[in-house]
Amino acid sequence: MNKHKPTMKVGFIGVGHMGTGMAERLLAAGHDVIVYNRTSSKAQSLIDRGAQLAPQVADACREDAVITMLANDEAVEAIVFGEDGVLSSLGKSTIHISMSTISVALSDRLTSAHANASQRFIAAPVFGRPDVASAGKLYIVAGGAPDVLKTCMPLFEAMGQKTVHIGDAPRAANLVKLSGNFLLASVIEALGEAMALIRKAGIDPHRYYDLLTSTLFTGPVFTNYGGLVARQEYKPALFAAPLGEKDIRLTLTAAETLRVPMPLASLVHDRLQTLIARGGEELDWSAIGQLAAEDAGLRDQAA
């Protein structure tokens, strides 16, 4: 426990792969964590580390802040707007921090509902996979009032290596998060096509990967995803194809509302659909990097 930094009391709703790692970091930083999960057994490892169990949603909503980290819009809607949910339970001084990757439309709805109830709300979705969450190295994109963000910083500092304030509207953070996943999917598609091309020409993909990442294509995006595509290593899924498909769909939905044609987003969405329809539901979303090879008649099996 770090005695020099201020500690907070925080509810945490949703302890899947991502949430568990994030809550661990909060505990490790000395914050008090009250965990709620629909399936409470999933909270056990956190309780073993010192977290308290919240029997009801409301029990997690009465401290300095409550973090929601759930799989999709439907889960957030149920937890927030459902009977005895976050909206009706939130303490006057408690901040709702929505860290889930959700639609811009739902972010707007949350913003309005909390404002109408004179409650404080901030959106703070994250970049990073479960291993990054466990290491406290997430990138956090925050949208909301600056003073609310400031109050939450001790929590963000425990979970992330960097927090960026993109604007006063929570929706901005959610849109930026979606756009980031679109950028990642685009790079995976590009790498998939490039590797199909060079593989069919008889060039070793590992040598190609080394060449790319030791010259112009440095940085974690090319390094991580290039490696997965070069090694055709698509399981276990760190971020499963249906989750990726959902995020690109939410990007396209936001783009449609804003009237922004995004042909590359359409292309990667079609790829994710194809991946799932052809049987890749349990693969990592980076397995779209295999589709160009398959369409080129390269018959290797994915790992």
User: Which value, to the nearest 10 degrees, does the dihedral of the CA atoms of residues 194, 196, 199, 203 take?
Assistant: 0
Nearest one of 220, 187, 222 to 208, comparing CA atoms? 222
Nearest one of 142, 73, 133 to 101, comparing CA atoms? 73
Contact between 102 and 169 under an 8 Å Cβ cutoff? The reply is: no
Residue among 23 and 292 whose Cβ is closer to a second copy: 292
Catalytic residue, from 42, 92, 137, 177: name it.
177
* Cβ 5 to a second copy shortest distance, Å: 22
Nearest one of 95, 85, 40 to 59, comparing CA atoms? 85
At residue 78, the 3 state secondary structure works out as helix
Strand bridging mode 65-68 / 9-13:
parallel
The label of the residue with tokens 């369409």 reads: 295
Q: Figure out which of the listed residues 146, 266, 300, 303 binds a second copy, where binding follows CB under 8 A.
A: 266
Q: Figure out which of the listed residues 53, 145, 197, 238 binds a second copy, where binding follows CB under 8 A.
A: 197
Binding to a second copy (CB under 8 A) within 101-130 occurs at 104, 127-128
Binding to a second copy (CB under 8 A) within 166-185 occurs at 166-167, 169, 171-172, 175-176, 179-180, 182-184
162 labelled catalytic: no
Residue among 66 and 132 whose Cβ is closer to a second copy: 132
Q: Does 83 bind a second copy (CB under 8 A)?
A: no
Q: Does 201 bind a second copy (CB under 8 A)?
A: yes
Q: Figure out which of the listed residues 115, 135, 164, 303 binds a second copy, where binding follows CB under 8 A.
A: 164
At residue 301, the 3 state secondary structure works out as coil
Binding to a second copy (CB under 8 A) within 226-255 occurs at 249, 251, 254-255
Q: Does 300 bind a second copy (CB under 8 A)?
A: no
Q: Which residues are catalytic?
A: 177
